[in-house]
Chain A
Amino acid sequence: GEDVEQSLFLSVREGDSSVINCTYTDSSSTYLYWYKQEPGAGLQLLTYIFSNMDMKQDQRLTVLLNKKDKHLSLRIADTQTGDSAIYFCAGGSNAGNMLTFGGGTRLMVKP
């Protein structure tokens, strides 16, 4: 099965860029996702990337995928205090699209 690893914690200052990293073992994931989880709220999909893409940009979010190293990153530009949350990367496949999540990275944004 798939293993997805993330660093536990990241702290940045408001206005800086944040980069959250993820590594995965199973190259059969067709799609790779980034979800955000705030206290007391459900998981919210931020963005996703197809496994045949290298980069995707969506407003303040940039996703980079290095298939050779099986490394996925999420860059948040101009990080705001409202971005403080836990961020999960996840892999999914065509059939059924059951998601395999990493352990999450807690992002703390200091004013």
Chain B
Amino acid sequence: DTGVSQNPRHKITKRGQNVTFRCDPISEHNRLYWYRQTLGQGPEFLTYFQNEAQLEKSRLLSDRFSAERPKGSFSTLEIQRTEQGDSAMYLCASSLVGNLEQFFGPGTRLTVL
């Protein structure tokens, strides 16, 4: 296990299209987080799961965004009807409950034209 992986690493799409990203956390990690990072800014929390339950969602997560973690392992983040303002790096992190360290993946860079 080499850490948190995210696919794809880069995605270019046209405005109005739907996109889906995948995150594979470190095995046995029961918490999984999604963050968004725009250029020159720090990451912003979007949502997190404990096992398969989505326990918290940020106000940033509009109704065009949906995240799932159906079996408590990998997670997907879907953005419907993408807008240019969705262009960002989408980061995934995982951790064990009770452990303070979140391990981050390399991110998926989304460009909406």
Is B90 located at the chain interface by the 8 A CB criterion? no
Is B40 located at the chain interface by the 8 A CB criterion? yes
Contacts known (A42-B4, A43-B104, A45-B101); A97 close to B95, Cβ less than 8 A? yes
Q: A96 contacts B106, CB within 8 Å?
A: no
Q: B41 contacts A96, CB within 8 Å?
A: no
Q: A101 contacts B100, CB within 8 Å?
A: no
State A97–B31 Cα separation when bound (angstroms).
10
Contact of B48 among A41, A44, A96 (CB under 8 A): A96
Q: How many A-B residue pairs have CB under 8 A?
A: 58
Q: A96 contacts B55, CB within 8 Å?
A: yes
Q: A43 contacts B45, CB within 8 Å?
A: no
Which residues in A have their C-beta under 8 angstroms from that of B105? 42
Q: Contact residues of A with B, CB < 8 Å?
A: 4, 31, 33, 35, 40-45, 48, 88, 90, 92, 96-104
13 contacts between A and B (CB under 8 A): A4-B42, A42-B4, A42-B103, A42-B106, A43-B104, A48-B100, A96-B31, A96-B55, A97-B95, A98-B58, A99-B43, A101-B43, A102-B42
